[in-house]
Amino acid sequence: MSDTPDTGAWRRLRARPSAVVAAAVLAALALLALGAPLLTALEGQDPTTYHDQLVDSARGGVPYGSFGGIGADHWLGVEPGTGRDLFARLLYGARVSLSVALGATVVQVLLGVTIGLAAGLGGRLLDAVLSRFTDVLLALPMLVFAVALTAIVPAGFPRPLLLILVIGLLSWGGTSRIVRAQTLSLRSRDHVAAARLAGRTPVQIARRELLPALAAPVLTYAALLVPTNIVVEASLSFLGIGVTPPTSSWGQLLSTATTWFRADPLYVLLPSGCLLVTVLACTVLGDAVRTALDPRERSRLAVGTRRAAARPPKGATR
């Protein structure tokens, strides 16, 4: 087979301008986050140093100057009340927000695939137990549970890791359901049946026969999980149980910024803009990946092009 589904998918993905733009945006964000120490050094600032002289203490600590104190020293202005550099806090915040979101997604996918496969391939009892457990997890009010979990963990535990674990462990239910459903439908296929007759163990079947077929839906779903996780991190930080100060994250920035929307609009617009762009890019890319990996989509596209080529020019029929 010269035209493998993978390369076809890749080509179709690249053919979509929206997908390319979204990927470029995400890559740029990742670069900015990775290069945070370099970029802030270039600016000559760091994310935690207070600048008392840059805020108007008598007016509630609003930054001096227009647009939240934007200038040559502080490229995106300073934080009200503290005078900390906003550019630095946004970049360092991106590191936390993006890594927590990606880490949590990895945990969710690993758990979801494992449990979904076990439920789909295992016996009736195992399936029932795992499926009901998944149902319970999906029904749990995630945020409340996360608040409770983060409250009982000792203070010394690194917060970003804790957030990854809490988000990852509490919301793998969706992935697991998709994987189980897919597994159930694949199980009755001939090649799986043949493998089972050949005496392969369920683990071997899962690895060699099922996982390749599961890749498309799981990848697609994962791409959509990332933005959700960014938002969950933001909400947890908003509730004050996210990262510990003085570490910044987009959620932490937003949580302190909300009251400032009138007095210092830029302070609110920057973190929410970052969040919006990231979530939008992830969603667009996720959608593009789904379409590109979908075999039906491929044929539909192909059919469409052939038909378009075969159809005579509009004016000719008249």
Partner 1 sequence: MAEPAPAPTRSRRLLLRSRRVVAAAIGVTLAAGATACGPEGAADAGADAPPHKGGTLTVLNSEPQTDFDPARLYTSGGGKVPTLVFRTLTTRKRANGAAGTEAVPDLATDTGRPSRNATVWTYTLKNGLKFEDGTPITSADIKYGIERSFAAELSGGAPYLRDWLIGGEKYQGPYKDKSEDGLKSIETPDDKTLVFHLKKPEGEFPLLATQTQFAPVPRAKDTGTKYEEHPVSSGPYRVVKNTGDGEHLLLKRNPHWSETTDKERHAYPDTVDVRSGLDSAVINQRLATGSGPDAAAVTTDTNLGPAELARIAGDKELEKRVGTGHFGYTNYLAFNPKVKPFDKPEVRQAIAYAVNRTSVVNAAGGSSLAEPATTFLPDQKSFGYTGADPFPAGKTGNPEKAKELLKKAGYPHGLKITLTHSTAKNFATSPEVATAVQDALKKSGITVELNGLEDNDYKDTVHSLKDEPGLFLGGWGADWPSGGPFLAPIFDGRQIVKDAYNFNHAQLDDPAVNHEIDAINHLTDLHKAAARWGALDDRIGERALSVPLFHPVYKRLHGKAIRNVVISDWDGVLDISQVAVK
Q: Is the dihedral of CA 280, 286, 292, 297 positive or negative?
A: negative
CB closer to partner 1, 57 vs 201? 57
| Residue closest to 160 by CA, chosen among 225, 241, 235 | 241
Token digits of residue 122: 């295992």
For 56, the enclosing helix (H) or strand (E) is strand 55-56
Which region holds residue 32: left if phi is over 0, alpha if psi is between -120 and 50, else beta?
A: alpha
Pick 46 or 294: Cβ nearer partner 1: 46
- 54-82: burial string, b at 16+ Cβ within 10 Å, e else: bbeeeeebbbeeeebbbeeebbbbbbbbb
Please report how close the Cβ of residue 171 comes to partner 1 at its closest, in angstroms. 22
Question: CB of 152: closest distance to partner 1 in angstroms?
Answer: 10
What is the nearest approach in angstroms of partner 1 to the Cβ of residue 239? Answer: 9
Q: Which is nearer to partner 1, 155 or 198 (CB)?
A: 155
* Least spacing, CB of residue 151 vs partner 1, in Å: 6
Q: Say if residues 33 and 40 touch (Cβ distance below 8 Å).
A: no
The residue among 242 and 286 lying less far from partner 1, judged by its C-beta, is 242
Between CA 21 and CA 287 the distance in angstroms is: 13
257 by DSSP, 3-state: which?
helix
26 Cβ partners below 8 Å, 6+ apart? 278, 281, 282, 285
Least Å distance, CB 262 to partner 1, is 5
CA–CA dist 190, 194 (Å, integer)? 6
Contacts of 151 (CB under 8 A, 6+ apart): 241
Contact 180, 129 (CB under 8 A): no
Nearer to partner 1, 259 or 299 (CB): 259
Q: Which is nearer to partner 1, 87 or 260 (CB)?
A: 260
Alpha carbon distance 79, 83 (integer Å): 5
Residues at the interface with partner 1 (CB under 8 A): 48-50, 52, 55-62, 80-83, 151, 155, 240-241, 244-246, 256, 259-260, 262-264
In the complex, least distance from residue 61 CB atom to partner 1, rounded to whole angstroms = 4
Helix or strand run (H / E) with residue 63? strand 62-63
Q: How far apart are CA 31 and CA 144, in angstroms?
A: 34
**What is the nearest approach in angstroms of partner 1 to the Cβ of residue 32?**
24
Q: Which is nearer to partner 1, 44 or 304 (CB)?
A: 44
Nearer to partner 1, 59 or 208 (CB): 59
**Judged by CB, which is closer to partner 1: 62, or 285?**
62
